[in-house]
Structure 1
Amino acid sequence: MTGERSVPKPLVLQDEDARGSRLKNTDLSDSFLRNLKMRDVEIRDVDLSSSEVEGANMSDVRFHNVRMENARFDNVNLTNVSITNANLAGMTIDGVLVTDLLARIDPDDDI
């Protein structure tokens, strides 16, 4: 049986206290995460492409060096959100190109 690949067995954690856990080089593709507390979590070098995030509290979260091409934000609260040093090419808000909006702003206006 040497040389055969084993079929991965899904890990099921429910009602567990896993504070302080470390996951490295782990494949969680096609996983389902629900009703989790993930406060003060550090997430680095993670591929979340084609994922769906719904009903999440992301207050005081910092995104740095994040690729968000083709991401969609729907029914989100962006109060006091700051976007700096960003490539806004093709980004729209309610169908209006953000680059067009920024081009209309007079730099002498106090907004």
Structure 2
Amino acid sequence: MTNIEKKVIDVTGLSSDQIAMLEEIVAALKAVSQTNNYQGKVSLDRLEETPQPSLTLEQRRAFLQLTLEERRRLLAQQAENMVEHYQENTEWQEFLAGGIIEY
């Protein structure tokens, strides 16, 4: 399970639309983190990866309207989560270990 660091953001000077978009993004991130508590882990019953929910157009637009600094922070957090995923899940290493063509 990943740790999500809580941050306090000063919203003074932001319009009500921008604040609403930030709230939508936070809600979307919470929804994604709740549905992906076992992100990337393979179901042993079916050997299928869990489906990843996609963001709505409004959520994507809200992300693009964040400041560059805030977007970079969110992307860095996602990158850290992916590092943890690839360190815990070694199936991708086993896949790459074999040759493409075996004789």
Instruction: State TM-score, norm by structure 1.
Output: 0.26
Name which one, 1 or 2, has greater alpha-carbon Rg: 1
Instruction: State TM-score, norm by structure 2.
Output: 0.27
